[in-house]
A = this chain, B = another copy of it.
Amino acid sequence: MNTVSKSQKKRDALVKATISLVNNNGFHATPMSKIAKMAEVSAGTIYLYFENKQDLVNQVYIDVKAAFSKFAFKDYEEGGSVNKGFEIIWKNIAEFKLMKVEEAMFLSQCDNTPIVDEPSRKEGLKHLQPLLDLWERGKKEEIIKPVSPYMLYAFSIYPIAFLMNMQEREIFKLTKENIDEAYEMAWNSIKI
């Protein structure tokens, strides 16, 4: 007996196909028929798993965002130093963006485009709380600048998406050293 049901496998294939095709063509230029074909499933089958096209992207977005968040807090424990804690999280995020390029690109497109609806956006944000908590503590300990978390995010986390985009376009290559340098830049921007 399988631990992963046949149904789950199909849903997974659909999610994966959606990510790949939306990355390459954009949401509206990706027909359901192509998603079905890539997932090796009939066109009608999509509608057994998702209500409609909008529901499909929404769910894929939430799924991927959840996986991203889980990855972001790998090996992170709340008690440690702000400094070290941020480094762990930042490097996790960087690793995700560089290793799981497909997923990361998909999130980037959703986050800069009106294809995902507001409720799903909200849902996707939920999991980032530990980072916000860490920053809050960092501010109290006067290690982190006393500015809005949106500012902290903009200057320390968001830039990774740009680097990922450039890497994807083969304009720029991220190496081990690069990453350490990038981390330095992120930290410099938010530390007091």
List residues of chain A with CB under 8 Å of any chain B CB: 23-29, 108-109, 111-115, 145, 147-148, 150-151, 153-155, 158-163, 165-166, 171-172, 178, 181-182, 184-186, 188-190
Q: Are B155 and A114 in contact (CB under 8 A)?
A: no
Copies in the complex: 4
Q: Are B113 and A113 in contact (CB under 8 A)?
A: yes
Q: Are A178 and B155 in contact (CB under 8 A)?
A: no
Q: How far is the CB of A115 from chain B (nearest CB, A)?
A: 6
CA distance A181 to B158 in the complex (A): 17
- Contact status of A158 and B162, CB under 8 A, knowing A113-B109, A188-B188, A189-B185: yes
Q: Is the interface of A mostly helix, strand, loop or mixed?
A: helix
Q: How far is the CB of A92 from chain B (nearest CB, A)?
A: 18
Q: Are B113 and A155 in contact (CB under 8 A)?
A: no
CA distance A109 to B145 in the complex (A): 30
- Contact status of A181 and B150, CB under 8 A, knowing A26-B27, A112-B113, A186-B189: no
Q: Beyond the given A27-B28, A28-B29, A151-B182, could you list 16 further A-B residue pairs with CB under 8 A, ordered by the A residue number?
A: A26-B113, A26-B115, A28-B28, A29-B114, A109-B113, A111-B165, A145-B185, A148-B172, A151-B185, A154-B159, A155-B185, A155-B186, A158-B161, A158-B162, A159-B159, A186-B189
